[in-house]
């Protein structure tokens, strides 16, 4: 994992808004772990955005490309995680 700035609630919101602008297909994104704690206000920051997602099989590649693009553009580490 590269040394990128910590992720606070505003950075999570910006990531989600821009993801919604770049990926215009149906899907669901679930925040997981420390990301949820920061988003809900229980912590002030985390090292990365942990998420799980559901998108159609045909749209999987496009979703991953959007996440990778934002990861670089916003200098945020993003990790796929399981909510369980």
CB 66 within 8 A of CB 22: yes
| pLDDT tens digits, one per residue of 35-56 | 999 999 999 999 999 999 999 9
- List beta partners, residue 53: 29
In a domain, residue 30? The reply is yes
Does 2 fall in a domain? no
Range(s) of the domain holding residue 52: 9-80
The proportion of the chain whose per-residue pLDDT surpasses 90, expressed as a percent, equals 92
| Average pLDDT, integer, range 68-79 | 96
Cα distances (angstroms) measured from residue 12 to each of 8, 29, 51, 70: 6, 12, 11, 11
Report yes or no on 3 lying in a domain.
no
Q: Which position has the higher pLDDT, 45 or 84?
A: 45
Residue 1 has pLDDT above 70, yes or no: no
Q: Is residue 54 part of a domain?
A: yes
Instruction: Check pLDDT > 90 for residue 16.
Output: yes
Q: Could you give the number of structural domains in the chain?
A: 1
């Amino acid at each position: 994992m590269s040394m990128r700035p910590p992720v606070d609630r505003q950075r999570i919101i910006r990531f989600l808004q821009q993801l919604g602008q770049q990926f215009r297909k149906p899907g669901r994104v679930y925040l997981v772990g420390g990301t949820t704690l920061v988003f809900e206000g229980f912590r002030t920051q985390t090292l990365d955005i942990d998420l799980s997602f559901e998108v159609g099989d045909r749209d999987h590649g496009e979703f991953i490309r959007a996440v990778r693009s934002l990861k670089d553009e916003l200098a945020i580490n993003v990790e796929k995680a399981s909510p369980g």
